[in-house]
């Protein structure tokens, strides 16, 4: 009886201090994963500045850039395309405002103005234009995206080109190919020049000899 009274008194005292019964809940844990969404460092002022500086660096080292629609591409498709690109080519989805800021004060500023619409994926090509366009065309053909993901336009030396223009440029000889051809031509020039000079020289010498002999007679 005494024990029951003590227990009842203890319970009443506890209730008086808490004002409500004590309830134990499992701890709540939350986590988030940002994949280039609308929050995080990328959307902060410093993040945007860093992104613009990075794009500026790509523009400075690029011989040509071109853009394609960035929507409706799966992660595996993007990875597959990236692996197919030649060395020296960078592929990146860039927001139009950030791309516009990166192009400010460069030869790309006016040329890219009409291309900054919708979601864009940009290709920055250091030298292998033909290999890059060929890799992209193969990708859209194999993935069935030829109609929905055609090249929208590109820029080379400050001049904008449409899809057909980019394709035409990609079929031109690369700088390395041109240098190789020029080097081969230059190597052949001295031999040809020497041959040309030698023949007239012999004829001239023979003519002078004959003329002198006539004068002596």
pLDDT score at 56: 96
CATH number, domain of 127, equals: 3.30.70.1730
Place of tokens 């860093």: 50
pLDDT score at 43: 78
Sheet holding 89-93, edge to edge: 89-93, 120-125, 64-69, 153-156, 159-161
DSSP 95-129: -HHHHHHHHTTSTHHHHTGGG--SSEEEEEESS-H
Domain count, the chain: 2
pLDDT score at 122: 97
pLDDT score at 77: 94
pLDDT score at 40: 81
Do 55 and 92 fall within a single domain?
yes
| CA separation, residue 184 to residues 63, 105, 190 (Å) | 24, 39, 11
pLDDT score at 10: 47
Residue-range definition of the domain harbouring residue 112? 41-172
pLDDT score at 41: 78
The answer to whether the Cα torsion of 99, 38, 68, 175 is positive or negative is: positive
Which residues of the chain fall short of a pLDDT of 50?
A: 1-38, 207-208, 214-216
């Amino acid at each position: 009886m005494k024990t029951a009274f003590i227990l009842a008194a203890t319970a009443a005292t506890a209730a008086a201090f808490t004002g409500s019964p004590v309830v134990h809940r499992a701890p709540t844990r939350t986590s988030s994963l940002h994949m280039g969404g609308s929050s995080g460092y990328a959307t902060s002022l410093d993040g945007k500045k860093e992104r613009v500086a990075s794009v500026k660096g790509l523009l400075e080292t690029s011989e040509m850039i071109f853009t394609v629609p960035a929507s409706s591409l799966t992660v595996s498709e993007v990875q597959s395309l990236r692996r197919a690109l030649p060395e020296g080519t960078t592929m990146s989805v860039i927001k139009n405002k950030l791309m516009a800021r990166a192009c400010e004060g460069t030869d790309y500023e006016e040329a890219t103005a009409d291309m900054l619409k919708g979601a864009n994926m940009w290709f920055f090509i250091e030298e292998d234009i033909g290999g890059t366009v060929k890799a992209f065309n193969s990708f859209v053909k194999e993935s069935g995206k030829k109609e929905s993901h055609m090249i929208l336009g590109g820029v080379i030396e400050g001049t904008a080109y449409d899809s057909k223009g980019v394709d035409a440029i990609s079929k031109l000889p690369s700088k390395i190919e041109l240098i190789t051809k020029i080097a081969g031509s230059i190597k052949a020039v001295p031999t040809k020049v020497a041959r040309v000079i030698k023949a007239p020289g012999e004829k001239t010498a023979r003519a002078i000899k004959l003329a002198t002999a006539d004068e002596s007679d």
